[in-house]
Homo-oligomer: A and B are copies of this chain.
């Protein structure tokens, strides 16, 4: 009986809420947060409810109205406008005055005697007048007088139900027994790029203009105009730190002890330094800072890799032997997944007694690069370090730098990926890389965009990575690369490619594997970027379409539509106000021309079934006049395996045929 038993309203099943409020949800600036909840009380009394929310710096709640939807479900919404952590909850109360108004109307409709009921209402009004401003007090008392003593019942009832009175009473609500939802929930608000980003990954060491010389940050500066022209806004560099010498890997991951081997970028640390140092052959810290600055001129942000592991030559191994595992014979424990061994890498031991120092040191690495200007980190294999470490680290960093973005590279089991997203990662790699058929794509995208996971996991789609050359790209030729690019770029508002192998359609793999043959991970490459078969222009066009069409700048509006051919995937994205409507048709078959009838959701798009409308293929620049739901498409993968249609409704004025033709 501790609580006041007179608080009769129940608020339950609030949505969105992740694991009972254990984790925050995510939004970016400008996104809406729609909150629904089951709200009800015993009996027949009317209920009122409002959504309470606090921006990062707010001390007091702001509020937004909640409206009844159906079946005891209520709904309210607000827009997040600042980076940081918002909080939200719901308040509801029995609204005796509205109950009285509602009942009065019903009684009046059947002609009951209303005298005493009118007096009851007047009492509510008089009570409210006690808290009112002088001006409102007078108004309220006037209403109360009218309700008790106007000439006719009709006048009394109409005063009682008047809009003016209702508004006045709303100002001086009686919330004596109002109920707060038992939890305050959090929403982490990120900058827009967390939801709309276009990543380009490259290995700087391969970009020297002199074949044979190791590429440098300075060389990379020269690439920026082209990366910008292709429409990428994030340049992601794999680790840039000194590479270990012990067990350095040779071409194709072979342990060869060849003095010319450049080694794997992920074998971090040598006598030249560790995670806070730059590989000397790439340049200096100042060169790196300059690259970051220059990139900004091209509206490109540099992202770097956080790979928390060491080469045997990393300074930590001597300075902090307690951070590693040691075997009974006094040797250090290398990374392994028995019987597989990773000879050039040793993992950190997160079960060390000095775990607090270790955590702080890793945090200091992130802060070090933040000070150099980095705000985006791609995190290597986060699923091999403790979850609680990441939750702590990301919270610590975002406390002072809420605009930092962390991309989780966890190609692992679904629940592990989901947990990493819940605990704070801003974006996540996904299984898109291996989803090719119509059914696979629809199922997986429906799960990502319609299930609860959408509240906290922002997908980032990669058709390839230095670690993965998927089978589809190995066999499908240039059309397969175009197909996968269009899918990644239009299904997901966050996507990236590993280039130049992607735009050059490199498709040679180790036999029976999804690994690149002669992978850039183990050697310096010399890419033929002038190759006429390069997809650079195609990629530039697709990315321009993304930039110019708001509907493609979010993933949450994706809807699949019907197409009567299993090789044709048909889907769309529209802005909420329908001012931008995109429909995409992709021929998933890289070998054959495919055609079929697609069903356009004209009703949802507000298109008159009796009027033609224009679909403008932004890829080919072709325009078609369609009418009604069913329309024909045909796609030749050797020319263009996809249409990205912008839909334009009939002009309000006389149909403008000039425009159409």
Interface residues of A (CB under 8 A from B): 1, 3-8, 10, 12-13, 19-22, 38, 40-44, 71-72, 102-103, 106-107, 109-110, 112, 115-116, 119-120, 122-123, 177, 182, 327-329, 331, 337-339, 350-352, 355-356, 359, 383-389, 392, 413-416, 419
Pairs A–B under 8 Å by Cβ, sample size 9: A6-B350, A6-B352, A40-B419, A41-B386, A43-B383, A43-B384, A72-B416, A102-B338, A115-B329
CB of A387 within 8 A of CB of B8, answer: yes
Cβ 8 A contact of A8, one of B38, B71, B338, B350: B350
Q: Which residues of B contact A115 (CB under 8 A)?
A: 329
Query: In the assembled complex, how far is the CB of residue A334 from the closest CB belonging to chain B, in whole angstroms?
Result: 12
- In the complex where A38-B415, A350-B6, A351-B8 touch, is A339 in contact with B112 (Cβ < 8 A)? yes
- Check if B1 sits within 8 Å of A356, measured CB to CB: yes
Q: Is the CB of A339 within 8 A of B109?
A: yes
**Which chain B residues lie closer than 8 Å to A414 at the CB level?**
71
Chain B residues near A43 (CB-CB < 8 A):
383-385
Q: Would you give the shortest CB distance from A607 to chain B, in whole angstroms?
A: 35
Chain B residues near A389 (CB, 8 Å)?
5
Inter-chain contact B328/A388, CB cutoff 8 Å: no
Query: When the two chains form their complex, are residues B71 and A351 in contact, meaning their CB atoms are under 8 A apart?
Result: no
Q: Which residues of B contact A356 (CB under 8 A)?
A: 1, 5
Least distance between A417 CB and chain B CB atoms (Å): 11
- Say yes or no: A106 contacts B351, CB within 8 Å: no
Question: In the bound complex, do residue A388 and residue B5 qualify as a contact, i.e. CB atoms below 8 Å apart?
Answer: yes
List 7 other contacts, CB 8 Å, given A1-B392, A22-B182, A72-B413: A5-B392, A42-B416, A109-B339, A110-B339, A116-B329, A116-B331, A177-B351
Q: Give the docked Cα–Cα distance between A44 and B122 (Å).
A: 71
Given the interface pairs A1-B359, A5-B392, A415-B38, the reply to whether A119 lies near B328 with Cβ below 8 Å is yes
In the bound complex, residues from chain B placing their C-beta under 8 Å from that of A329 are 115-116, 119
The chain B residue with its CB closest to the CB of A6 is: B351
For A20, give its contact among B20, B413, B415 (CB under 8 Å). B20
For the complex formed, measure the closest distance between the CB of A405 and the CB atoms of chain B, giving whole angstroms: 22
Q: Which residues of B contact A119 (CB under 8 A)?
A: 327-329
**From B7, B109, B359, contact of A388 by CB (8 A):** B7
State whether A384 touches B42 (Cβ < 8 A).
yes
Q: Which residues of B contact A1 (CB under 8 A)?
A: 356, 359, 392
- Please tell me if the beta carbons of B328 and A120 are within 8 angstroms of each other in the complex: yes
**In the complex, what residue of chain B is closest to A23 when comparing beta carbons?**
B12
Asked, given contacts A6-B351, A328-B123, whether A338 binds B106 with beta carbons under 8 Å apart, the answer is yes
Q: How far is the CA of A392 from the CA of B103 in the complex (A)?
A: 31
Q: Which of B110, B177, B386 contacts A42 (CB 8 A)?
A: B386
Closest to A19 in B: B12
In angstroms, Cα B418 to Cα A71, docked, is 13
Contact A386:B8 (CB < 8 A) given known A327-B120, A392-B1: yes
- The CA-CA distance from A383 to B21 in the complex, in Å, is 28
Known: A5-B355, A6-B350, A109-B339. A12 touches B71 (CB 8 A): no
What residue in chain B is nearest A330 (Cβ atoms)?
B116
CA gap between A116 and B385 in the complex, in Å: 25
- Chain B contacts of A116 at CB under 8 A? 327-329, 331
Query: Closest CB-CB distance, A345 to chain B, in whole Å?
Result: 13
| Chain B hits for A415, CB < 8 A | 12-13, 38, 40, 71-72
